[in-house]
Structure 1
Amino acid sequence: MRPRNRDRRTALRAAAALLILPVLAACGGPSHPTTTLRGAAPDGLAIGSAVAGGGHHDRMDYPDPFPNDTRYRETLAEQFSSVSPENQTKWAYVHPARDEYNFGPADDIVEFARENRQMVRGNALLWHSQNPSWLEDGNFTPAELREILKDHIQTVVGHYKGKVDHWDVANEVFDDEANLRFQENIWLRELGMGVIADAFRWAHEADPRATLFINDFNTEGKNAKSDAYYELVRTLLEDDVPVHGFGVQGHLSIEYGFPGDMRENLQRFADLGLEVAVTEMDVRMVLDDSGEPTEAQLEQQAEYYRMALEACMAVESCTSFTVWSFTDKYSWVPVVFEGEGAATLMSETFTRRPAFGELRAALNAEREAR
């Protein structure tokens, strides 16, 4: 790695910290006591949640969750110091036609975050999924696709300049066998892997102070997929591409073992000079015919949540821990994984599960120890 590249990234992160840390500091205090997740968190660690909307919610029999569920919004404001639009900044929703952008739903989330002193994570600027049909079926030339992508990134990031703190720029570019998704991903297939570097450069031009992440699932521990990301990020940094962070999504299941080398894996990316983050944490389980989790399942789930948080807090540059929905009422898991669910910190009626208490206890312990 070139020293001047590391120095430049360090300076950028230091400048961003001057803006962000007062926001995080404001998240504690009388209005957010240590009985809440955000109040319990140590300085410099954002505790986040996805903001329900779009995606599978469009097919459900309830109204759009964020604007219509008052209790949901109140809990989101009370417990979390960071929010991530679940789908509202993804291509299909924010860019529904080639010459049309729809910022309204995401604007509402950003304004909510401002009112509640929360940071915002945006996603996903370059992804193989949830692209609009006009794009996937448009029969564009490579030159046209390149211009479309550049316009999208710079328009979206530019629209939220100074308002969205982190962007997942490139999302899920490798499959689980560590192969680049050339067939699934229109950008890689038509423009080659060099488009990843272009995407980061375009996003950085649009908002030089935003922290730019590369992000994926099944990368929590050291494996072929996370190894591939390590080599990709190292190469990008050597080419002075403005990659600032690596995000592990954290979609786990108690049917599988916990990635015991998660801290070690996060640390090796941190050693490259990156911020690291857990960006989409949930822990699903197989449910019996009752649809209710057992006490043993909830205890194991709580242990997984706690261990993931502790792995993050053990790495100095792990600055954010985000759950992908905090209530089963709006979880994506039962829609995608048949027969599975109970993946979040709260039930459909907002009853707190043991995992909530484990996270809060771990946060309080870390805050008191620092």
Structure 2
Amino acid sequence: MSEKPTSRQYRRRTYLQTLAALGVGAAGTSAVATAQSSSDDASGDAYHRTLRSDLTGRGGNKTLPPGQYVYGETEAATMDAFSVVGDATATTTAVEDDAVPITTATRIEVEDAHGRPGAVSYRGPVEDHSFSAGDVLLGVAYLRSDSRKAQVEARFGYDTSTQEEDGGSAKDHDGGSPDNAVQRSALVEPGDTWMRYFFPIEVGEAPGSDATPVFEFLLGSCEQTVEVAGVALIDYSDAETVPTLGTLPPYDYEGRAEDAEWREAAEERIDEIRKTDVEVTVVDSDGEPVPHAYVDVAMTEHAFDFGSAVAVPRVTGDSEDDETYREVFLEEFNKAVVENGMKWPAWEGVWDISNEATRETLGWLDDHDVPTRGHYLLWEEYGTDGGGGMNVDSGLPADEVRQTITEKIANHGERFDGQVTEWDMHNHPIWQSAFRDDEALGWDAVAEWWAAADDATDAELYTNEMGAIGGTWQQDPYYQFVQRLVEEDYPIDGIGFMGHHQQQWGQLLDVDELLAGLDRFGAFDLPLLVTEFDIEIISRRNAQDVDVQRDYTRDFLTAVFSHEAVEGVLSWGFWAGDHWRPTGAYYDEDWTLRPNGEQYLDLVFDEWWTEEVGRTGRDGTFSTRGFEGDYHLVASDGHRVGHAEATFDDENGTVEVELRPLSEVATDVDGDGRTEDVDGDGDVDNRDAGLFFKNLRSDDVQEHPEQFDFDGDGDLDFRDVVALFREAN
């Protein structure tokens, strides 16, 4: 399984949609009008063949039948059917983007829309195809726009006339048109990259025999320029199995809306269980309180685990990407799991991962104080084809199998004792249960193996399974499995949920269903941990897939962070260049941050991150409320400075900071003789520049020019503040 950012703040401001390519270059035309059942059929142009292949070959329960192309199977035929109606100009342009299979686009410039979406329309009347009420269709289009706030509304409906007789103005259908048969995501906001959009349609009753079906794109909401290409309308009414609206893209989940009811309660729980009262008391060298002192409370680490799997070759490699990989991991995650190196196939040489490199990876993580999970001790599979297993000869007698696995577990537990915080003791117990299914082994052997693990290591022992909160197809049997472990007093210390989500299998849970699952397992009174989180989407060129991945990242993380039983979330990788499901990564291969990665960072290091400044009261105390975790605190009264490290949680929320002369606190981190680390925390950043500015006129600073003359001109003035600021940035 599997731009270099200089600061977290910079990364949060670098939000780009550079996405992986889909499809092939389009070429050639054909006049065939009906889609064929085989994706290898020669009918249609390259674009239509690519689209058909994508929809019929995606796998999972979102695979669609071929359907019938309503406008024909060439880009030219579809463009001939569409025209611009209303006060806008249209030109035909070539698509010069090898990442998409389209070749030709219509560029529409709307100059005077008056805020009415229906005032301008890119419209395709259906002249030679009939529909019945209830027919299921799928509209498709590639869209792009250089306008700052482009808006396009897809519409399907019946018109008694498609144009006004005097001048060809659009029949005005404002945004809330009641006869729009597009069932979801009709309103989209295209950006400057060609992206594909889907519009599921359920045909309504025709208003009369002379009514004409129309598929159109309403563009009159604002002054804008929009390019439209690759338009298709697919009719599934004659399919052997007619798809339901729920199986048509784009895909959604309940609870996604910004005003969804669950959000307020989740935020209240987060405030209650993830934050604590913080009290900073500032004193002088005699221990007396210092009123009106400036206090900076800066979080440095979450108490909650926001971790990731790490790949041994990336941690130990020497390429430029490897270096970036390590930097990004250390900046954005606070816990690790070695993705493959500790698995039995790797450790015993079946896979090409050296044990020395795995040990080096663990050492690197330890050197950077990163707590690490062990993955895994037991996986009930003899072979290694399923991505793990025990690498045990299935032909051995049962007693030898039992003893072999006992020794493996004991040796692995002892080998890595002290290097891991917890183990996935029993991995995939529901998906693969080969040993329990063998009457000669069964639960007796499993009990022996759990006991062997408990004897071999002081690390906590977890179960770990998929399909319980990333989809729920294994939730019931997993619950029953954990229930048996608890009732029979196994040494289980926590419950792991893999949290893999595959969009093509409909595994984005409704938020209430997700929370109910956490409640269900939380009743065991054991820590819950999301061990392998990712969201695989069908294509990063499908705009609505990218959007739902971004939003579900937000809502999944919010839901689990709001649940008292959950202690962390570990993503199963973060970079598309080394990710077992590349569409699920937070970063593109060129290290461009994706929208789901942007959402992750915004939550973890902005919304759920505490940075507060203020002043002490008459009693020398500054009080606030912050997220539980580690903090660096700086205080100053304009003449003296003090700093402290603290961990704030429900049991510890107070700290005392003693002020001392700045010259005694500041340190020289680069050996140039000047003490640019003004607050003494080991780093040079904007806080040092700000603190220096606050204390610039103090006697202590003015008496030590050799420490603080950062611009080297012999004076201590504002230019030194500027020089330090530049050094920090």
Q: Same fold (TM over 0.5)?
A: yes
Displacement, 1:201? Answer: 2.0
Query: Partners in 1 of 2:449 and 2:299 — Cα distance?
Result: 36
Displacement, 1:272? Answer: 0.6
* Residue 13 of structure 1: aligned partner: none
**1:349 pairs with 590, 607, 612, which one?**
590
1:266 equivalent in alignment to 2:499: no
Does the 8 Å contact 2:345/2:390 carry over to 1?
no
CA displacement 1:211-255 (0-9 Å, x = unmatched)? 211111111068452121212212211221111111111111233
Partner of 1:48, secondary structure, is strand
1:81 equivalent in alignment to 2:334: yes
Query: Partners in 2 of 1:32 and 1:130 — Cα distance?
Result: 41
When residues 47 and 34 of structure 1 are mapped into structure 2, their CA distance, relative to the original with a 3 A threshold, is farther
Displacement, 1:85? Answer: 1.0
CA displacement 1:130-158 (0-9 Å, x = unmatched)? 37999443622111111111111111111
* Residue 303 of structure 1: aligned partner: 551
Displacement, 1:296? Answer: 2.7
Structure (1/2) with the larger strand percentage:
2
**1:203 pairs with 444, 453, 461, which one?**
453
Partner of 1:247, secondary structure, is strand
* Residue 330 of structure 1: aligned partner: 578
* Residue 493 of structure 2: aligned partner: 244
Does the 8 Å contact 1:33/1:40 carry over to 2?
no
**1:52 pairs with 311, 319, 323, which one?**
311
* Equivalent pairs, count: 307
CA displacement 1:192-214 (0-9 Å, x = unmatched)? 13333333222121113x12111
**1:147 pairs with 392, 397, 403, which one?**
403
Q: Within 5 Å, which residues of 2 pair with 1:150-299?
A: 150-175=406-431, 181-182=432-433, 185-186=434-435, 188-189=437-438, 191-208=441-458, 210-220=459-469, 223=472, 225-255=474-504, 256-260=506-510, 261-287=513-539, 292-299=540-547
* Residue 17 of structure 1: aligned partner: none
Query: Partners in 2 of 1:139 and 1:204 — Cα distance?
Result: 28
* Residue 103 of structure 2: aligned partner: none
Give 2:528's aligned amino acid.
Answer: V
Q: Within 5 Å, which residues of 2 pair with 1:38-117?
A: 43-53=302-312, 64-68=313-317, 69-96=322-349, 103-117=355-369
Displacement, 1:353? Answer: 0.9
Query: Partners in 2 of 1:322 and 1:282 — Cα distance?
Result: 9
* Residue 145 of structure 2: aligned partner: none
1:130 equivalent in alignment to 2:393: no
Gaps (5+ residues) in structure 1?
1-30, 54-63, 176-180, 334-340
Give 2:607's aligned amino acid.
Answer: A
Query: Partners in 1 of 2:503 and 2:421 — Cα distance?
Result: 32
Does the 8 Å contact 1:263/1:314 carry over to 2?
no
* TM-score of the two chains, using structure 2 as the length reference: 0.39
Query: Partners in 2 of 1:222 and 1:283 — Cα distance?
Result: 11
When residues 102 and 152 of structure 1 are mapped into structure 2, their CA distance, relative to the original with a 3 A threshold, is farther
Query: Partners in 2 of 1:143 and 1:47 — Cα distance?
Result: 41
CA displacement 1:2-29 (0-9 Å, x = unmatched)? xxxxxxxxxxxxxxxxxxxxxxxxxxxx
Query: Partners in 1 of 2:475 and 2:9 — Cα distance?
Result: 34
Structure (1/2) with the larger helix percentage:
1
* Residue 313 of structure 1: aligned partner: 561
Gaps (5+ residues) in structure 2?
1-5, 13-297, 611-625, 628-729
Does the 8 Å contact 1:120/1:163 carry over to 2?
yes
Give 2:412's aligned amino acid.
Answer: V
* Residue 25 of structure 2: aligned partner: none
Displacement, 1:33? Answer: 6.5
CA displacement 1:29-50 (0-9 Å, x = unmatched)? xx9968889x989742111111
When residues 214 and 77 of structure 1 are mapped into structure 2, their CA distance, relative to the original with a 3 A threshold, is same
Displacement, 1:325? Answer: 1.1
* TM-score of the two chains, using structure 1 as the length reference: 0.74
Displacement, 1:66? Answer: 2.9
Give 2:580's aligned amino acid.
Answer: W
Give 1:80's aligned amino acid.
Answer: F
When residues 74 and 366 of structure 1 are mapped into structure 2, their CA distance, relative to the original with a 3 A threshold, is closer
When residues 249 and 200 of structure 1 are mapped into structure 2, their CA distance, relative to the original with a 3 A threshold, is same
* Residue 4 of structure 1: aligned partner: none
When residues 158 and 252 of structure 1 are mapped into structure 2, their CA distance, relative to the original with a 3 A threshold, is same
Query: Partners in 1 of 2:300 and 2:529 — Cα distance?
Result: 15
* Residue 23 of structure 1: aligned partner: none
Does the 8 Å contact 2:335/2:370 carry over to 1?
yes
Query: Partners in 2 of 1:188 and 1:245 — Cα distance?
Result: 24
* Residue 120 of structure 1: aligned partner: 372
Query: Partners in 1 of 2:546 and 2:391 — Cα distance?
Result: 42
CA displacement 1:249-302 (0-9 Å, x = unmatched)? 111123325212222212322221211111111111223xxxx43433222111
Query: Partners in 2 of 1:96 and 1:138 — Cα distance?
Result: 18
Identity level (%): 23
Give 1:266's aligned amino acid.
Answer: L
Does the 8 Å contact 1:121/1:166 carry over to 2?
yes
Partner of 1:361, secondary structure, is helix
* CA-based RMSD: 3.0
Instruction: Give the number of the structure whose alpha-carbon radius of gyration is greater.
Output: 2
| Stretch of structure 1 that moved more, 122-131 or 310-319 | 122-131
Displacement, 1:186? Answer: 4.7
Q: Which has the higher contact order (CA 8 A, sep 6+)?
A: 1
| Stretch of structure 1 that moved more, 197-206 or 235-244 | 197-206
